[in-house]
Amino acid sequence: MRIPYFQVNAFTRIPYGGNPAGVCPLKEWLPEKVMQEIAAENNLAETAFFVAESSGYLLRWFTPAAEVDLCGHATVASAHVLWAELHGAGKATEGSRLRFQTRSGELAAHKRSDLIELDFPSRPPQPCQAPHALLQGLGRKPREVLRARDYLALYDSQAEVAALRPDMEQLASLDALGIIATARGTDADFVSRFFAPKVGVPEDPATGSSHSTLIPFWAGRLNKMEMFARQISKRGGEFHCRLDGERVRIGGHAVTYCRGEIEVPVE
């Protein structure tokens, strides 16, 4: 059996930037084991699978090691595939909307000029005691440590965040999906990096879900509801951010890298 496959770089305008995501449109769900094996074989930070339903799409995300509850860049990639590659190709207009049912509830993607803007839950972080493994793993002591789904380590400068050389074994031992390192930016309102070795992603190039925490945090610190952010990984990512009550709006661009098929063994 063959299924369509796309690889899309999200949160970037350039062909080799942002975060690569695999996208598999399905007519019906494959066995969970098979979807996990496809994600492992792709060896990308995330592979998204979606199935159409009456009110939109059912959407799931897999890292090479596990299914996750929220993923921004693979949602942007899925919306891009629907609008740019499949039945909506060339027909998406300003304000077009897609609905996705996920493990994190209903999510939406909106067409905003040339941006894909995600409607995600806001996950404000709360101050917490910094675990020893977090401090050892990051290698530089942050000014503050907070936590939502992920740990958030606040540094004094963009240069400090860029200089981090984490011990992934230490970070993988933490009881959180990922670790966000962040600071005010030099050419952006804020910058970040994201590490998730626990689920097979040592450093994620451009992370949408971490901005569910970064946006409410920085909105409070900067007293701004709209912000521009950069993820300063090697590939880089750009985020147009907005706090909207108990939701966050995360806008980005996407570029198709390849189109093809996956051969799925029939058992």
- Please check the confidence at residue 45 and state whether its pLDDT lies above 70: yes
**Residue tagged active-site, from 46, 117, 203, 238:** 46
Token pair 């949408």: residue: 208
Question: Of 48, 38, 51, nearest to 10 (Cα)?
Answer: 48
Same domain, yes or no, for 147 and 209?
A: yes
Q: Could you report the per-residue pLDDT of 144-190, keeping only the tens digit for each?
A: 999 999 999 999 999 999 999 999 999 999 999 999 999 999 999 99
- Domain boundaries, position 242: 126-246
Q: Could you report the per-residue pLDDT of 212-263, keeping only the tens digit for each?
A: 999 999 999 999 999 999 999 999 999 999 999 999 999 999 999 999 999 9
Same domain, yes or no, for 162 and 106?
A: no
pTM of the model: 0.91
- Please check the confidence at residue 92 and state whether its pLDDT lies above 90: no
Same domain, yes or no, for 112 and 189?
A: no
Same domain, yes or no, for 63 and 146?
A: no
Candidate from 83-87, 120-124, 218-222 with smallest mean pLDDT: 83-87
Same domain, yes or no, for 178 and 110?
A: no
Number of domains in the chain: 2
Q: Could you report the per-residue pLDDT of 75-84, keeping only the tens digit for each?
A: 999 999 999 9
Same domain, yes or no, for 139 and 96?
A: no
Same domain, yes or no, for 131 and 228?
A: yes
Same domain, yes or no, for 178 and 153?
A: yes
Token pair 């959180």: residue: 176
Same domain, yes or no, for 66 and 133?
A: no
What phi, psi does 188 have (nearest 5°)? -155, 165
Is residue 46 among the annotated active site residues? yes
CATH of the domain at 142: 3.10.310.10
User: What is the pLDDT at residue 213?
Assistant: 98
Same domain, yes or no, for 130 and 117?
A: no
User: What is the pLDDT at residue 125?
Assistant: 98
Same domain, yes or no, for 203 and 257?
A: no
Rounded Cα distance between 30 and 23, Å, is: 14
Same domain, yes or no, for 116 and 13?
A: yes
